[in-house]
């Protein structure tokens, strides 16, 4: 368990809902009832951190979460994000104007059927708007009781330092996996400061765990799946790491969650990291 912001205890493997939408993270899922089943099964299995965003669909993912899980169990933490607009499949544009961020929060509250969002991430920093204005608006919404904790997404260590001069930051959500460790300095800082570090794409986009790949071979030697090995590696990096693997299939969900029981020795963690050092050198 890890307590986000010091007062939101969550199991360290969460669930990310981005892939529950249509192709290109656009529109409805092909199997809406199947998406609902996956969400409900995740909570049945002890997941109590559900990550979503208003831009997934857009709006589809948040509506699915409410449909599947409302009324929410008291221990369930819903994390959502705002500040990215959508122009079509696989198209994203940051908008950080304060009035837009306020609208994002108000509409997420409505779609999720919440009175307060436990964890709200600025999905991307908008370089055309002063950071103080973007985070200041979220701080105002927190003071109004509409947000409990504020997080950031896809930020550098310099971004995090700048943000912490404006608001308390409870979490950082950055891409991180065996083959993408660009934000290692940010992870180390979050560990020291006890800020939750939430890796998205913890399994890559499927390429990291493909059958016949190097990770697949290593996992077979241990009698586990490549997904389990990749997630266990993340969990062993730091106690603040909270991976949020997503899937559209219950069987895959159940396989992922078994990673929490996989123990790795320090030398195994080091070996896994170093096997992908050539990938890191090209980033």
Structure tokens at 75: 């221990």
Cβ neighbours of residue 267 closer than 8 Å, sequence gap 6 or more: none
Task: Report the candidate in 232, 231, 122, 112 with the shortest Cα–Cα distance to residue 173.
Answer: 122
120 in catalytic set: no
Which one of the listed residues 56, 72, 120, 176 is annotated catalytic? 56
Bridge-partner residues for 204, per DSSP?
Answer: 202
What's the rounded Cα separation, in Å, for the pair 190 and 155?
Answer: 12
Looking only at the bridges linking them, the beta strands covering 77-82 and 49-51 are: parallel
Give the H or E element holding residue 50.
strand 49-51
What's the rounded Cα separation, in Å, for the pair 16 and 19?
Answer: 8
Bridge-partner residues for 10, per DSSP?
Answer: 2
Contact between 125 and 155 (Cβ < 8 Å): yes
What's the rounded Cα separation, in Å, for the pair 232 and 119?
Answer: 24
What's the rounded Cα separation, in Å, for the pair 167 and 150?
Answer: 8
SS3 content of the chain, % helix, strand, coil (to 5): 40, 20, 40
Catalytic (active-site) positions = 56
């Amino acid at each position: 368990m890890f307590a986000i912001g010091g007062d939101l205890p969550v199991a360290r493997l969460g669930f990310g809902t981005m892939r529950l939408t249509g192709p290109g993270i656009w529109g409805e899922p092909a199997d809406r009832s199947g998406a609902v089943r996956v969400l409900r099964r995740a909570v049945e299995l002890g997941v109590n951190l559900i990550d979503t965003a208003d831009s997934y669909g857009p709006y589809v993912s948040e509506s699915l979460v409410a449909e599947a899980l409302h009324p929410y169990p008291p221990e369930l933490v819903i994390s959502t994000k705002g500040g990215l607009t959508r122009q079509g499949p696989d198209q994203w544009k940051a908008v950080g104007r304060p009035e837009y961020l306020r609208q994002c929060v108000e509409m997420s509250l409505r779609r999720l059927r919440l009175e307060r969002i436990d964890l709200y991430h600025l999905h991307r920093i908008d370089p055309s708007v002063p950071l103080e204005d973007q985070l200041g608006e979220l701080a105002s919404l927190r003071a109004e009781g509409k947000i409990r904790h504020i997080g950031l997404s896809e930020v550098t260590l310099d971004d995090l330092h700048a943000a912490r001069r404006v608001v308390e930051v409870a979490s950082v959500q950055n891409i991180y996996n065996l083959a993408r460790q660009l934000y290692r300095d940010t992870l180390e800082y979050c560990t020291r400061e006890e800020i939750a570090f939430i890796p998205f794409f913890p399994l890559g986009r499927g390429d990291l765990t493909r059958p016949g790949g190097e990770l697949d071979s290593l996992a077979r030697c241990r009698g586990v799946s490549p997904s389990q090995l990749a997630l266990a590696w993340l969990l062993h990096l730091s106690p603040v790491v909270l991976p949020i693997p997503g899937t559209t299939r219950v069987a895959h969900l159940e396989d992922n969650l078994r990673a929490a029981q996989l123990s790795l020795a320090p030398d195994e963690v080091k070996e896994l990291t170093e096997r992908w050092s050539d990938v890191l050198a090209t980033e």
